[in-house]
Amino acid sequence: MSVPSNMQKVKCLEDLDALAKAYLPGSIWEFGSTGAENNLSREGNRRAFDDIWLQPRILKDVSKRSIKQDLLGKTYDAPFGIAPMGASAMFGFEADLNYARAAKVANIPFVMSGSALIPMEQVAEANSDVWFQAYVDADRDSIAALSDRVWQAGIKNLVITVDVPVPGNRKVSLRKGFEYPMRPGLGIAIDALSHPRWLFGTFLRTLLSSGLPHIENYGPERGIPIISMKAPERKHIRDGLNWEDMKWLRDRWQGKLLIKGVLSPEDTKTAAATGLDGLFVSNHGGRMLDTAVPALKALPEIAAEKGAMSILFDSGIRRGTDVVKALALGADFVFIGRPFLYAAALGEQAGVAHAIELLSQEVYRTIAQLGCTELDELGDRLY
């Protein structure tokens, strides 16, 4: 698949930022790019990688190296996947389908967001290996209804996000007018009109093909439109969700069950005792609790308590060296969000494929420069 013409000069994931900022309306860019409150955790995620150094070994035969990695019973062609990102279809046309298709071709995992604007059933048709990330209320009937829908869609890996008992305070995007749902107004309209490539290439194209996007996957039925004067009616809330609910769901769910948003080794022990298959070490990309510990700093202590679980990592990955550092510190697999979001906005499936290839080549190059042929050799390359 050829590289999209507007991404020919993209040579690393960070090159996507400026292009996406120019393409997207300000409200949508701010929703995707900013963190909670003062952005301290979001910025801390990146600084944490800068504090880790690698020590190469020389004169090692690395001519037969591999970056394949096993995860939850499947071998993938790279040790990274696409993290769940809500409202992606507002950034790029059919973004979730393009993640799914690109991930299938590249043989990497893709975790679909519970906040996606495309029904999970359509995404599962595009990629039978798709995972689903859910936001669930503290109500077992609603959890049962949603998990039944996920299973009936053919999805076998379920990820429950557990670090949002209440929403984060993302003041910058709220000032710009992006919230769930978006309230129509003059400012939003002017913002859209001033970005005609997005207006015609994403929004109007979506309206013509499938109508106004809806919040599709919060429950067993379709939710409200993403643009609406009416706020959703909430019968249940998440701040009562607890470990007993996870134990109940573990007994009920037949596939792989993971949680996302763990930063504590004590919670890791409880997750292992609950019988979970894995967990994501994550601070939600800095989008929930500002000043939450950077995920990379929490990773080693969590990995030490993993038991039989798989340790997955997200928050802050931008380079192949970042992937390698997270693996060396104890992650079994890593996931990346915002760069793939921008790639989907700019170049659809081909854009996502280009981003995957760039990161794969960086990982492949990095392990060679470290004198490694397999990813399990990385642990002693930390300095």
Q: How far is 201 from 24, CA to CA, in rounded Å?
A: 11
Which tokens is 140 given? 């077992």
Q: How far is 278 from 291, CA to CA, in rounded Å?
A: 25
Apex CA 48: angle with CA 43 and CA 52, to 5°? 150
In this structure, what is the dihedral angle of CA atoms 313, 155, 238, 331, given to the nearest 10 degrees? -10
Residue 284 catalytic?
Answer: yes
Please say whether the beta carbons of 123 and 102 come within 8 A: no
Please say whether the beta carbons of 99 and 83 come within 8 A: no
**Catalytic pick from 195, 214, 236, 284?**
284
Q: Is the peptide bond before 84 cis (omega within 30 degrees of 0)?
A: no
Q: How far is 185 from 59, CA to CA, in rounded Å?
A: 63
Is the alpha carbon torsion for 325, 331, 337, 342 positive or negative?
Answer: positive
180-183 contacts at long range (C-beta below 8 A, 24 or more positions apart): 180/87, 180/115, 180/215, 180/226, 180/232, 181/215, 181/224, 181/225, 181/226, 181/227, 181/228, 181/230, 181/231, 181/232, 182/27, 182/226, 182/227, 182/228, 183/227, 183/228, 183/229
Give the active site residues: 284
